[in-house]
Structure 1
């Protein structure tokens, strides 16, 4: 029997929304401050997945310049009805202090690969919007209500309102349909209709180690909803390899089997999930008394899951993880911070066969950084590039980076020092505290290319450089980068580690760096030195 190996979407791919249209399965995941917005994936068998073009590719759909860390796109909801794909998403503008500015939008397309429409504004009352298409043709949007008032719980319940596609707006009264359970932090609602009941699936317990999935049902869309007597229907217990199980979405196969997609985290040192929150899939069934249960018993996530019994395995050819920058378009796995790729700061054509990065703002900026990166998807990996860069002063830098957000990164960068000339060094920002980790022998040749490499082993990285073919030299000592994770900060964070290329010119002269290639390779633990 074919098997699903979890996580099916490794690396930073949280808040999955799963959908079947005919024989095709799709998953949408959150992207937060990374552009383009919303990751989309396609499968024929729920085992093998390929990435699709992002739906939010224009600033008219998503303008995130200035958005906070872990702001931007939260919890997209992907649905389909009468020939149209619907994508709901939140753009979070404020997340510190009493308030949350959470603007919800809807975009539609006849084709999953786009083009997607200009967005329709929905509301800003909370986040995690979800669209339910009732069988009478009416459409309803639910979201978590955020309550900023002193003495009130910020979790105001799950609210529901009708959406008019003809009028392109919300209409009618707002109904508060579910206040949640003792697990608290009720969010991520999805509504399903089956056997005379409306089923309400929510996430509870917070998105950390107490995360869970709650099911409730009612004969009326507006409630009251009775909670599953065995609640939660999914959660993770200590020592399970898959932690943080929650924020789920339900799908039925074309042959009547049931599955949920949900987020998980895989911790390493000190319970740090350096890859971020990932997507897993569990097989489910409906009990005799009409409640959703995990196949195989219990309510914990399983790493190995039976695949749909009547679907043949279907393999895709995914994009090569080695990018030689010979094509004029960007591979789908590349992302930038808050703004789209444009000739203003990045180019694949200015020097054919190279990626040119024009030095932008500092790594602390939430506006216009020049940084391109991809998700770290493996605990053991090797990342390599070749850079040509001629800095003129210490304010000009470029190199290879492991990045979580503006407060946490590790950066192997080329710069210019008054005493040394052109040289290498490592910058580390840990929970917002800046540090420089310099090696003793870090002077570089004045001209020519320099290769940079990062060898990653779980939460440790060792940097290398080479100016002669086949001759690699270590830069500094192994660095613990476990701070590149959701955990450790007072304010909750929600992304994951990215690896990529960056360039800064704090003098404003826009000094550029040229990169010949970028290679990402998963390696086995026994391959490492």
Structure 2
């Protein structure tokens, strides 16, 4: 049956406005969840961490922001994350208070493979990104720039096929090093653009009790910090995903970057111990000093029940102990915490809605696993994103994707196709696991489980408006023939809680997106996003 526009996107706006102002509802004990009203709301009603009263509530950056790499550069902080198969990749985020973050530009435009946990550094006035990739063969690249916004150099291959998760560090004698997975390291040339000598093993990580439920030992994500008389080596063990109690943070210290390293007596410093907790698989931590001189840790974790959102960035206060070690003091991060003082706040996040007045690649949109000339498919004209069709479906036609970090949201867009084209909206995990709705001139194309599940008749022709609503994994699709004044519910509902890493692998998240396949091109206008 037909439903009005108010029962569609407009009703979502009214409902979410109420959520943002009403008191937080009670949460069932042990659920690990918080009500939507627990967060303040920002662009497009997206949740933001800063509560506006001197406190913040995790996540620091919602949605898939895994393996945080952070740099303190005077009064500025810059951070980036594993971008895997998304390009432009390695979007750089900027903050001045550690709580509010804005995206700037993407540092990596050339597809060099699946980008894993990187290291962001500044040395002698130059910025460096050390980038491990899963490719053929695996390796670690470096790119550099004289300004954080680039231009960044072309990738330089360091020929390190056996390691991941590099961390740049400068020793007390001025030598430069990359610490690597497995407790290894290798020396860098003075310019940081090549290696010297062979990989050496310098550290045997602490091992958890054998009866703990973990994914694997997997010592990875080394991070180096210097405080007082010691160098601190922070490592992730227990596996990145798998059991929620697996991933954890351990530490060691030494009076020299060259070792020897002693285990922290309090290991593990962070670990999810129960599936009742709000954040699962917490790990891959860095230490950073705030504007007020306090210390903090940034790491990632999965939100209880929402593997589909990927690993989200979390902020945890750090306390130094009298014996020269440190503790994380934020508990399970389920409650608001006092913000660090100082630093001017930037507006947090960015709008995901897009009027397509310009092409916003890298900070807002990116392609999944693009070919060398994928961006040639795109142009913006007269308020429309024009996407040239390729392939047959999202399986072989790279879609344009957003990172949406709320548990519930709706997105809609006007879609017009040329003869021979098929286009639509998707919820996309990877090229083998996605859901959504497309259409050609005569029929709809229903996408579910990464397959075509039906092609009912299309009554709207070559132009329609499509809306997808994802309400905590329950998906509803609507179409409109009159620019959203009235809506028809599409006769296929979906449940997508299984569209995640522990089912499919890949360490990704379920993301909203647009695609165009077949022949010709598609025009997308007036893209609207709203968190619910």
Q: TM-score, normalised by structure 2?
A: 0.82
Q: 2:108 aligns with which of 56, 66, 69?
A: 56
Residues 215 and 385 of structure 1: CA distance in aligned 2, closer, same or farther (over 3 Å): same
Deviation beyond 6 Å, 4+ runs, structure 1: none
For 1:453 and 1:84, the matched residues in 2 are separated by 45
CA contact (8 A) 1:8 1:279 kept: yes
Q: Please give the per-residue CA displacement for 1:187-239, whole angstroms capped at 9, x wherever unaligned.
A: 00112233332211101110122110010112343433221111110112221
For 1:340 and 1:9, the matched residues in 2 are separated by 29
Residues 111 and 377 of structure 1: CA distance in aligned 2, closer, same or farther (over 3 Å): same
Q: TM-score, normalised by structure 1?
A: 0.83
Deviation at 1:276, TM superposition (A): 0.8
1:294 to 2:364 alignment: no
SS at match of 1:426: strand
1:112 to 2:148 alignment: yes
Deviation at 1:332, TM superposition (A): 1.9
For 1:108 and 1:264, the matched residues in 2 are separated by 29
Deviation at 1:76, TM superposition (A): 1.3
Structure 2 unaligned blocks of 5 or more: 1-52, 209-216
For 1:474 and 1:498, the matched residues in 2 are separated by 22
Deviation at 1:517, TM superposition (A): 2.4
Aligned to 1:170: 195
Alignment of 1:436-451 (within 5 A): 436-437=453-454, 442-447=457-462, 449-451=463-465
1:197 to 2:249 alignment: no
Aligned to 1:316: 347
Alignment of 1:362-381 (within 5 A): 362-363=392-393, 365=395, 369-381=397-409
For 1:173 and 1:280, the matched residues in 2 are separated by 35
1:500 to 2:532 alignment: no
Residues 118 and 320 of structure 1: CA distance in aligned 2, closer, same or farther (over 3 Å): same
Aligned to 2:22: none
For 2:348 and 2:289, the matched residues in 1 are separated by 26
CA contact (8 A) 1:345 1:359 kept: no
CA contact (8 A) 1:203 1:211 kept: yes
Aligned to 1:424: 444
Aligned length: 466
CA contact (8 A) 1:23 1:44 kept: yes
Residues 328 and 277 of structure 1: CA distance in aligned 2, closer, same or farther (over 3 Å): closer
SS at match of 1:375: coil
Aligned to 2:390: 360
SS at match of 2:481: strand
Structure 1 unaligned blocks of 5 or more: 65-71, 95-100, 145-156, 417-421, 524-529
Alignment of 1:120-199 (within 5 A): 120-122=156-158, 123-144=160-181, 157-166=182-191, 168-183=193-208, 184-199=217-232
1:284 to 2:318 alignment: yes
CA contact (8 A) 2:414 2:525 kept: yes
For 2:345 and 2:453, the matched residues in 1 are separated by 48
Deviation at 1:477, TM superposition (A): 3.7
Aligned to 1:403: 428
Q: Please give the per-residue CA displacement for 1:405-448, whole angstroms capped at 9, x wherever unaligned.
A: 122100201025xxxxx122311125xxx340456xx422334x
What is the root-mean-square deviation in Å for CA atoms of aligned residues? 2.2
Deviation at 1:389, TM superposition (A): 1.4
Aligned to 2:466: 452
CA contact (8 A) 2:410 2:468 kept: yes
Higher helix proportion: 2
For 1:260 and 1:14, the matched residues in 2 are separated by 14
Deviation at 1:374, TM superposition (A): 0.4
CA contact (8 A) 2:436 2:468 kept: no
Higher strand proportion: 1
